[in-house]
Amino acid sequence: MPKGSSSLVSKTVGKKPPKIKKQTKYLFVTGGVLSGVGKGITAASLGALFKARGLKVTIQKCDQYLNVDAGTLNPAEHGECFVTNDGAETDLDLGHYERFLDVELTGKSSLMTGRVMKKVIDKERAGGYLGKTVQVVPHVVDAIIEEIEECGRGSDVHIVEVGGTVGDIEGLHFIEAIRELELRVGRGNYTHIHVVYIPFLGTSKELKTKPAQHAVLELRRIGLLPDMIGARTEVDAPMKVIDKLSLFTGVSPEGIVLLPNADTVYRVPLTLEQSGIAEYALSKLNIKTKTPELSPWKNLVKKATQGFDKTVKIGIVAKYLDNEDTYFSVIEALKSAARTNNTNLQFTWVDAENVNVNNSSDLLKSYDGILVPGGFGKRGIEGKIAAAQYALKSKKPYLGLCLGLQVAVIGAVRTTGLNDANSTEFEPKTSDPVVYIMEAQRGKEGTGGSMRLGGYECVIKPSSLSQRVYGANKIIERHRHRYEVNQAYKSQIEEAGLLISGLSPDGTLVEMIEGKDHPYFLATQAHPEFLSRPMRPHPLFYGFIKASLKT
Ligand code: GLN
């Protein structure tokens, strides 16, 4: 008997066998040829299909940027900054994930290179590597694997999307993390789809698979063999594209799905399901499930594409107009609210810089409703104030989101004779700071640290329009702002025809205002657009469209 074995036996005999932890299975989603061709929607759609089969799904986006989070990224360049309930400032893909999966994600689902690097460097500074040379492999890659495992813990399938395209220098650490994670969990516990772009040559009327072939070669060079390919095309592709891709990449034809442009993004889950790719992915993960319940998706697609007899016209007074992605969730929330009200939506961007008190009526009267979304900085602010004043006075439905509440308050108070009323964000020395920075945040204006971020409770005034619209007395909404309404101006706010209809539970923060004797003038300090879902519009948006239809 080998030395020590008797004591081993005596220690284990009679004890319960150790609990085997559930193995989370992984679906990796990478991209080739080009970025921006719908990897995020593919990842989210597969997640939705898994969820419709009763599986517990989590999802995470790895972003290559050296930023620690998306909070400091310019929205005009990068699109919307999506805020999670726990206050993380993330990439707009998390918005797709939440909408498709109908879940509330946390900051763990957004992993930027900067966050990983910071963690590794902080550990190095604290002596956590015990004198070792700190390197990308293994230390950075291990830190990524840790974050991925942590985010996926407890789920049946964890979907990990890597931003950018494979082969980018700046994304290699994520690809290496996938390679090592695959080795660690073993066959049957992971699968991988590579989403590639197949260009169409107009002159020869041909879809060219060559760039996609090279994109798969690039993956193989790094040590990864995808099980599946998502082939994005801008025209319908013939089946022979699948055969050709299969021949040149070694991926089975069953693992290749054609993804032509869709009339609505919500069709993608149905296209994927029809192709059999979700079942194929699950077979790679050794998961057997029931048939998915897809009637909600079918109904959604029907509503999103059918066209209605009525059309509601909404003017969005905004300033980041070069990139519509900046307001992605706002538009999605409007679309969802319009569908549910059985109306077509026609929205028009109104450049806030062109609006002023003299022309606001001419520029805005043709719209059924006016929306002022969130924003930062002085540019365009007077136009937004004028738009809010016009909506209040002319009894035009108005929805103000975050900055949209602040401009409504400034505009209203100005009508009481306080002509210089302003926010200290735009006029630091204003004589009437009706929107200001609170004591605790003073001096930190330029930093990320001073923002009110994530879910906050709001107590709604009984019998107010806000209460009727929400159908609740207490709600939680997500925030992302620094400035707050100054309650020293409460009497002027009310004199101007507004009602403070929502407050933080301790009464210190104004969360909602509404117009008195107005069909629908509602504004919130929060960003309700983040909680709207394609099949369940947010009540504030639903009410806004409903009221706009009546004008
Ligand atoms: N700039 C305003 C603030 O920081 C509003 C921000 C927003 O609209 N998200 O308070």
| pLDDT value for 130 | 92
**Percent with pLDDT over 70 in the chain:** 94
Residue tagged 């007899």 (tokens): 309
Q: Are 64 and 170 in contact (CB under 8 A)?
A: yes
Residue 481: CB within 6 Å of ligand 1?
A: yes
Which amino acid residue places its CA nearest to atom 7 of ligand 1? 374
pLDDT at 393: 97
Whether the pLDDT of residue 429 is over 90: the answer is yes
- CB under 8 Å to 325, separation ≥6 — which residues? 78, 79, 80, 92
Task: State whether the beta carbon of 482 lies less than 6 angstroms from ligand 1.
Answer: yes
Per residue in 209-259, pLDDT tens?
A: 999 999 999 999 999 999 999 999 999 999 999 999 999 999 999 999 999
Q: Is the CB of 478 under 6 A from ligand 1?
A: no
What are 309-361's pLDDT values in tens digits? Answer: 999 999 999 998 877 789 999 999 999 999 999 999 999 999 999 999 999 99
Tokens 């400091």 sit on residue = 72
Nearest residue (CA) to ligand 1, atom 8 = 374
Quick one: how far is CA 25 from the chain centroid?
24
Q: Which residues are catalytic?
A: 402, 527, 529
Q: How far does residue 401's CA lie from ligand 1's centre (Å)?
A: 9
Query: Which range is least confidently modeled, 9-18, 314-323, 326-335, 495-504?
Result: 9-18
pLDDT at 10: 44
Output the pLDDT for position 4.
42
CA 124 to ligand 1 centroid distance, Å: 36
Ligand 1: which of 316, 403, 423, 510 to mutate, most ligand atoms within 8 Å of CB? 403
Domains of the chain, each with CATH number or no CATH: 35-190 (3.40.50.300), 307-548 (3.40.50.880)
Ligand 1 atom nearest to CA at 374:
8
Q: What's the confidence (pLDDT) of residue 6?
A: 43
For residues 419 and 549, give the distance between their C-alpha atoms in angstroms, rounded to a whole number: 33
Instruction: Tell which atom from ligand 1 comes closest to the C-alpha of 435.
Output: 10
Q: In this model, does residue 66 exceed pLDDT 60?
A: yes
Cα–Cα distances (Å) from 306 to 27, 63, 139, 534, in that order, read 33, 36, 52, 15
Give a three-class secondary structure readout of 281-347.
HHHHCCCCCCCCCCHHHHHHHHHHHHCCCCEEEEEEEECCCCCHHHHHHHHHHHHHHHHHCCCEEEE
**Alpha-carbon distances of 431 from 22, 135, 420, 445, 490, rounded to whole Å:** 62, 55, 7, 19, 16
Looking at residue 445, its pLDDT comes to 54
Shortest-distance Cα residue to atom 3 of ligand 1: 481
User: Is the shortest distance between the CB of 402 and ligand 1 below 6 Å?
Assistant: yes
The residue nearest atom 1 of ligand 1, judged by CA position, is: 376
The alpha carbon dihedral of 455, 458, 463, 465 has a sign of negative
80 lines ligand 1 (CB under 6 A): no
| Residue 8 pLDDT greater than 50, yes or no | no
Collapsing DSSP to helix, strand or coil, 63 comes out as strand
What percentage of the chain reaches a pLDDT higher than 90? 88
Which residues, in sequence order, are bridge partners of residue 322? none
pLDDT for the residue numbered 444 = 55
**pLDDT at residue 320, as a whole number:** 80
Backbone angles phi, psi at 167, to 5 degrees: 115, -20
- In ligand 1, the atom with minimum distance to the C-alpha of 484 is 10
Ligand 1 close to Cβ of residue 375 (< 6 A): yes
Indicate if ligand 1 lies below 6 Å from the C-beta of 374.
Answer: yes
Across 271-297, average pLDDT: 96
**Contact status, residue 483 vs residue 495, Cβ threshold 8 Å:** no
Res. 14 pLDDT band, cuts 50 70 90: low
Ligand 1 geometric centre to CA of 481 (Å): 4
The yes-or-no verdict on residue 470 having pLDDT over 50 is yes
Please tell me the distance between residue 244's alpha carbon and the centre of ligand 1 in angstroms.
Answer: 51
Confidence at residue 423, expressed as pLDDT on a 0 to 100 scale: 98
| CA of 101 relative to ligand 1 center, distance in Å | 28
Q: What is the pLDDT of residues 141-174, one digit of tens each?
A: 999 999 999 999 999 999 999 999 998 999 999 9
- Measured in Å, residue 343 CA sits from the centre of ligand 1 at 31
Residue bearing the CA closest to ligand 1, atom 6: 481
Residue 375 alpha carbon, nearest atom of ligand 1: 8
The DSSP-derived string for 337-379 is: HHHHTT-EEEEEEEEGGG--TTTHHHHHTT-SEEEE----SST
**End-to-end Cα, the chain, rounded Å:** 90
Is 376 a pocket residue for ligand 1 (Cβ < 6 Å)?
yes
Residue nearest to atom 5 of ligand 1 (CA): 403
The rounded Å distance from CA 369 to ligand 1 centre is 22
Q: What pLDDT score was predicted for residue 7?
A: 44
Q: ∠ at Cα 408 (387, 70), nearest 5°?
A: 95
Report how far ligand 1's centroid is from the alpha carbon of 375 (Å).
Answer: 6
Q: What is the model's pLDDT at position 473?
A: 97
Distance from Cα 425 to the centre of ligand 1, integer Å:
9
Tell me which of 72, 80, 316, 483 to substitute to probe ligand 1's pocket, judged by most ligand atoms within 8 Å of the beta carbon: 483
**What global pTM score does this model have?**
0.92
Mean of per-residue pLDDT scores for the chain: 93
Q: Which amino acid is at 423?
A: S
Provide the pLDDT confidence category of residue 448 given band limits of 50, 70 and 90: low
Cis peptide before 260 (omega within 30 of 0): no
Q: 474 pairs with which residues across the strands? A: 459
Of 81, 89, 330, 406, the residue with max ligand 1 atoms within 8 A of its CB, to mutate for a pocket test, comes to: 406
Given a contact cutoff of 8 angstroms between Cβ atoms, the answer to whether 340 and 395 are in contact is no
Which parts of 154-230 fold into alpha helices (H)?
A: 172-185, 210-221
pLDDT of residue 438: 80
CA dihedral 388, 516, 548, 101 (to 10 degrees): 90
In this model, does residue 1 exceed pLDDT 90? no
Name residues whose C-beta falls within 8 Å of residue 61's C-beta, 6 or more positions apart in sequence.
40, 90, 91, 93, 94, 97, 109, 110, 111, 161, 163
Q: What is the pLDDT of residue 16?
A: 67
pLDDT of residue 71: 85
* Mean pLDDT of all residues in 454-460: 97
What is the reported pLDDT for 13?
54
